[in-house]
Every structure is written in C-alpha cells, then in structure tokens.
Amino acid sequence: MALSPDHLVYAAPDLKVAVEDLAGRFGVRPSAGGRHPNGTHNALLALSDSCYLEIIAPDPDQSQQGGRPLAFGLDWLKIPRLVTWAVLAPSLEEVASASQAAGYDPGVVVEGGRVRPDGAELRWRSTKRPEAQEEWPPPGDGIVPFLIEWGEETPHPSATSAQGVRLLELSLFHPRPAEVQPMLSALHIDILVTAGAAPEMRARLETPLGIVTLE
C-alpha cells in the first residue's frame, strides 16, 4: 500500500518573517502551532484533509539544552525552504520493518509532542535515523521522508490548521536519483525522483491567489 504525505517541512531562520511571507504569497495566514521542547516553534497550514505544511524555525524564547543541534539543519539555514517531509504510517513498527526488509532502514522510533497555543497537547511517534540526530541532512538528503504515527487522542493537525490551500503535486529532485529511488520504493512511495543539480522538493499548491510553487 502506497504511503501518503502527512506533512511537508518548511524550515526558516525566523518564524514570524516566514509566516508573513507565505501569507502574502498564498492569501492564507498559517496558524500558530506551538513550541517543541527541542528549541523550535512552528506554524501550520492545512494542505488537505490529511496533510499540512509545517513552518518551523528556531524559538528565540527557548535556550538550546545541552548545545544540541536544532532539527532539520536550522542552526545553519539561511534561506527558508522545504527540507523534508513525513508520511503517515498506520502501524509504525510494521511499516518500518517492511522497509528494512526491502533494503532501507528508516531509523529508530522516537516519541514527540508539543503543546498548542490553546493548551491542547499533541503526541506522536516518528522515525529518525541515528546520524540525523547530530547532523543534517540524513541519507536521502531530506528527499526521503520519515514516518509518523499520531497518538490516539491527538487530532490530526490538518483539521485544526488554517484552511484554504491544497497540495496539487509534490516533485522530488536529486543529483543521484538512482541512489534515492530505492529508498522511496522500500517505503512504498511511488514518486519518481528527477535528476537535479541539488536535492530539492517542490510543492505545487492551489491557493486563493492562484497556483503557487513552494520550494
């Protein structure tokens, strides 16, 4: 069974600046998401009934604990861009095991959570490559998604995020597509990777202001 996108990760140096920019380009203002205990905060925008855009940036009100690098290479990011994505895994261990058997290890399962501005707590589990905990990018250079499974009591963020934008198409590019394509195939993702000068994601979006391509 092909896995479907759960969310796209758009990393930015400054959350407020990124939200203002996207609101101007889309005609829809992303809603506040909340803070992660690892030193980041986010804003969200629904892209369908089961997929959303996460805009994530360093949180200036949090101090980095233990000097650990921020997620998604945010310590070194200078220009906002799509850095990776997640696919929804109905049964995380089962999907991860099948992927390993097919030749790609999506990594260890880690617990995650954050508190929304309204006080509601969100919980999830996701996969993370061990090397991705200390450095970015991981194998696949962000083109290969991680797996996520939401807690039973957690509403999917697409249901509580700003509405009005729809994901029409997700395109993936890599300098060595022959290396990345088998990783996607192991995860039952049927998107064809196109040769490109650098690893890149492009999301074609339908917005109130027309069709917009987010990179």
Q: Please, what is the average pLDDT of the chain?
A: 91
List the one residue out of 50, 81, 18 whose CA is nearest residue 148: 50
Residue whose entry in the numeric block shows the structure tokens 């030749």:
103
Q: What is the pLDDT of residue 71?
A: 86
- The dihedral through the CA atoms of 166, 168, 174, 179 has a sign that is positive
CA dihedral of residues 71, 75, 56, 207 (deg, nearest 10): -120
Q: What is the pLDDT of residue 131?
A: 59
CA dihedral of residues 92, 179, 202, 141 (deg, nearest 10): 70
Q: For 6-65, what is each residue's pLDDT tens digit?
A: 999 999 999 999 999 999 999 999 999 988 888 899 999 999 999 999 999 999 888 655
Q: Tell me, which fold does domain 5-214 have in CATH?
A: 2,3-Dihydroxybiphenyl 1,2-Dioxygenase; domain 1 (3.10.180)
Q: For 122-175, what is each residue's pLDDT tens digit?
A: 899 999 876 555 567 788 999 999 999 998 888 899 999 999 999 999 999 999
Q: For 52-89, what is each residue's pLDDT tens digit?
A: 999 999 998 886 555 678 889 898 999 999 999 999 99
Q: Where are the domains of the chain?
A: 5-214
134 within 8 A of 75, measured Cβ to Cβ: no
Whole-angstrom distance, CA of residue 136 vs CA of residue 197: 18
Q: What pTM does this model have? A: 0.94
Pairing label, strands 193-195, 121-128: unpaired
Q: What is the pLDDT of residue 35?
A: 87
Say if residue 211's pLDDT is above 70. Answer: yes
